Structure 1
Amino acid sequence: MIPNVGLRVFLKSSSNILRGSSSLLPRTSPAALTPATFNATGSFAASQPVRQYARAAKASGTGQSQLSDLTPDMLKLDYTAVPLAQTEKLQLKKEQLIAKVQRDETDRSSVEVRIAILTARIRNYQEHLQKHHKDKANKRLMLMAIDKRKKLLKNLRLVRYETFERVCEQLGITYTFPPEYYRRATRRWLAKKEFCIKVFKAVQKQKAEQQLKMKQNLRTTETEEHKATAA
């Protein structure tokens, strides 16, 4: 026991000596603790700490705006000095698209005009969401406008196909057909569909057999009547 007690006393005294010596040393800043670099002038300079968790900034959309083809002289005199007259430019873009598809100069409520207005709004929302991709409100408005335009294009395609093709060509719209099934194809749904097809085929086969029997019965009755009349 005696040697162990002496060893403990020695360790405690040595730790106290180290603490006292560390308190006498001058305090340094965190920047001084970083690795030092040697400058061209001959002095040492501490390098800045590198943060490994920092992520690179996401690149913003660099696509060309649909309002870039509008010249400044097209704006009103009140807005010529304003650098970003977005509402005025959007209104001019609507008028430009309407002029391509309207039936006459006074046409402001036809299906073609409504499609042109919705197209200008949709493209404006798309440009806005390229810069602010977390804007849920404008994304919802854009999806609602796309649904409205899809319904109008569908009706126009069924009623007047030539006008539908002209509107799509003038406005640069690519019309895609909706999918055949909106429901997700699960294993249960596929098995049910296969079973329904088998039942349908079996019913059709039974109907065909019944029709064949009826035809045979009619033929036999006709032949018997013909024999009876001949006798």
Structure 2
Amino acid sequence: MCNTVYLIKISGSFAIPPPVRHYARGPKIKKKAPEGLFSDLAPTMLKKEYADIPLAQTTDDLVKRLLSLEMASNTDKFRLKKEQLIAKVQRDEHDRSSVEVRVAVLTTRIRNLQEHLQKHHKDKANKRRMLMAIDQRKKLLKNLRLVHYDAFERVCSQLGITYTFPPEYYRRVSRRWKAKKQFSIKLYNAVQKQKAEQRQKMRQSLAATETEATEAKVTQ
């Protein structure tokens, strides 16, 4: 902050302006960041390409550390996480193209992009890729729900997905639309009231005719 003092000339004399008060700001409360996609992966786990090799399990600690996730890139962690999610929902060991597996792959991609966008919220290209993946997964879940409901429930429970039904129609809310809706509701209620009155009159007329018919039978 600049410490220069400016003198103000008042009627032939110089006066020092009052000091400016700088109030202290309150401490910023940092939001707790949600758990990342790779938070449940232990650093001692081996990479995907070395997990099935017996020699990698018995090698030196330094070599094992180089082959583990501690020294792995984000791409290697992404591959391992994708295989874990696929193993939860696949129909058999060789299943790589079913709807459940495609949903698992899209879920891994969406969560990875969500974690990336929390740090780089101005990355429009990855945001567009994430929204496209969400729409594609929503279509797959919709078809799976119609065809095989048990598999749909299993996929949602295993992957932690909450399926929300799309709205019946999309409409921009405006004052004209609100007024039109209120008028339509008022008109509907008036028509229903008029119909109820007509039904009541018809019931009364039917009851009157029935009573007249019974009285005519009694007199005969």
Aligned partners of 1:110, 1:141: CA distance in 2, in Å? Answer: 22
Distance verdict in 2 for CA 1:62–1:194, change over 3 Å: closer
Ranges in structure 2 where 5+ consecutive residues have no aligned partner: 5-29, 51-65
* Structure 1 letter corresponding to 2:206: L
Aligned partners of 2:186, 2:35: CA distance in 1, in Å? Answer: 54
In the TM superposition, what are the counterparts of 1:1-231 in structure 2 within 5 Å? 65-67=36-38, 69=41, 71=44, 73-76=46-49, 80=67, 85-154=73-142, 156=144, 163-176=151-164, 183-230=171-218, 231=220
Deviations for 1:174-214, whole angstroms, at most 9, x for unmatched residues? 44565788544433322221111110001111111122222
Distance verdict in 2 for CA 1:81–1:152, change over 3 Å: closer
Q: Which runs of 4+ in 1 moved over 6 A?
A: none
Deviations for 1:128-172, whole angstroms, at most 9, x for unmatched residues? 323433221111010111222234445555666654444333223
Aligned partners of 1:81, 1:219: CA distance in 2, in Å? Answer: 89
Work out whether residues 47 and 68 of structure 2, in 8 Å CA contact, stay in contact via their aligned partners in 1.
no
Structure with max Cα Rg: 1
Deviations for 1:91-114, whole angstroms, at most 9, x for unmatched residues? 332221011122332333433322
Distance verdict in 2 for CA 1:63–1:201, change over 3 Å: closer
Work out whether residues 47 and 76 of structure 2, in 8 Å CA contact, stay in contact via their aligned partners in 1.
no
* Structure 2 letter corresponding to 1:92: L
Equivalent residues, number = 172
Q: CA deviation at 1:80?
A: 4.6
* Structure 2 letter corresponding to 1:66: L
Aligned partners of 1:85, 1:122: CA distance in 2, in Å? Answer: 18
Distance verdict in 2 for CA 1:204–1:109, change over 3 Å: farther
TM-score relative to the length of structure 1: 0.58
Aligned partners of 1:93, 1:119: CA distance in 2, in Å? Answer: 11
Q: Name the counterpart of 2:24.
A: none
Distance verdict in 2 for CA 1:101–1:187, change over 3 Å: same
Aligned partners of 1:214, 1:107: CA distance in 2, in Å? Answer: 67
- Once the two structures are overlaid, the 10-residue window that deviates more, 96-105 or 216-225, is 216-225
Q: RMSD value over aligned CA atoms?
A: 3.7
Identity of counterpart residues, as a percentage?
Answer: 66
Deviations for 1:17-67, whole angstroms, at most 9, x for unmatched residues? xxxxxxxxxxxxxxxxxx9xxxxxxxxxxxxxxxxxxxxxxx9x9765423
* Structure 1 letter corresponding to 2:37: Q
Distance verdict in 2 for CA 1:64–1:201, change over 3 Å: closer
